Amino acid sequence: MKAADLKGIKTGTLRVTIVTTAKYFIPRLLGPFCRLYPGVDVELEVVNRDQAIERLAANRDDLYIMGVPPDTLPTERHPFLENPLVVIAPHDHPLAGCRRIELRRLAEEAFIAREPGSGTRIAAEKFLASHRIKPRNRMQLGNNEAVKWTVAAGLGVAVISRHALMLEPMHDRLAVLDVQGFPIRRSWYVVYPAGKRLSVVAQTFFDYLKREAFTIQEELAAPPLRRAQKKPR
Ligand code: PGA
């Protein structure tokens, strides 16, 4: 691969580790990338944030995609795409369709939380704590799909990435609530160890992400799920 790098040939293996929520868009960027560079083989790991940080510390991959880069390791980090977090509820929740719901109203709801260490959970807890709101967690679940099904079943509300609502087969079971202060604005980062010299293949994918992320960004601009009926407050 080093010889190929020296010649600038885009061939070899690209090793990328992504955190679970990035699975909703990275494969859709990898598809066209692989068609453009058929000589590149991809090894994609989808893990939770703690495992991604372990792999980063051990320098096991070329690039890492995550929402909360670690403060404990020297890294290069580049934001390349928005990662807005929204509040979801079952479609028949009394607040579905209400406008500008006060944030403190969320303290009355049961929350379905992600597992400790999830970037979504860290960001949601930080945001709610900064507004002195202590969520009442009814349940914690290790992935977004389980969170969505549990919310759809009427067991509570949840904070979730807009990306997790793309290609959503449950559009008629969930509603996005219009809560003041939401969406929480965050970014996705490409991360790699500070000082690491990227291979030509890794650098090519990094440049591709920066150039093509707008295609996913455009999807985020569309209304999430179906539009709920607006009710007067
Ligand atoms: P996660 O997503 O909640 O699946 O860890 C990463 C993030 O949003 O930071």
> pLDDT tens across 21-40, in order?
999 999 999 999 999 999 99
Q: Report the separation in Å between the CA atom of 230 and the middle of ligand 1, taken as the mean of its atom positions.
A: 30
For domain 85-177, give its CATH number from 3.40.50.300, 3.40.190.10, 1.20.120.420, 3.40.50.2000: 3.40.190.10
pLDDT band at 3 (very low <50, low <70, confident <90, very high): low
**24 C-beta closer than 6 A to ligand 1:** no
- Closest-lying ligand 1 atom to the alpha carbon of residue 20: 4
Task: Determine whether domain 2-82+187-220 maps to CATH 3.40.50.11540.
Answer: no
The atom number, within ligand 1, closest to the CA of 121 reads: 3
Residue 209 has pLDDT above 80, yes or no: yes
Residue ranges covered by each domain of the chain: 2-82+187-220, 85-177
Which residue reads 């995550």 in tokens? 66
Task: Confirm or reject: Cβ of 75 under 6 Å from ligand 1.
Answer: no
Residue tagged 């970014």 (tokens): 187
CA torsion 53-209-16-165 (nearest 10°) is 70
pTM: 0.88
| Distances 70 to 21, 128, 144, 174 between C-alpha atoms, Å | 17, 21, 22, 32
49 lines ligand 1 (CB under 6 A): yes
**Measured in angstroms, how far is the CA atom of residue 167 from the centroid of ligand 1?**
18
| CB 184 within 8 Å of CB 45 | no
Identical fold, 2-82+187-220 and 85-177: yes
C-alpha–C-alpha distance, residues 107 and 91, integer Å: 19
Ligand 1 centre and the CA of 123: distance in Å?
9
Q: How far is the CA of 113 from the centre of ligand 1 (A)?
A: 12
Tell me: the pLDDT tens digits for 107-118?
Answer: 999 999 999 989
Q: How confident is the model at residue 225 (pLDDT cuts 50, 70, 90)?
A: low
Grade residue 222 by pLDDT with cuts at 50, 70 and 90. confident
Q: Can you give the pLDDT at residue 1?
A: 57
CA 65 to ligand 1 centroid distance, Å: 10
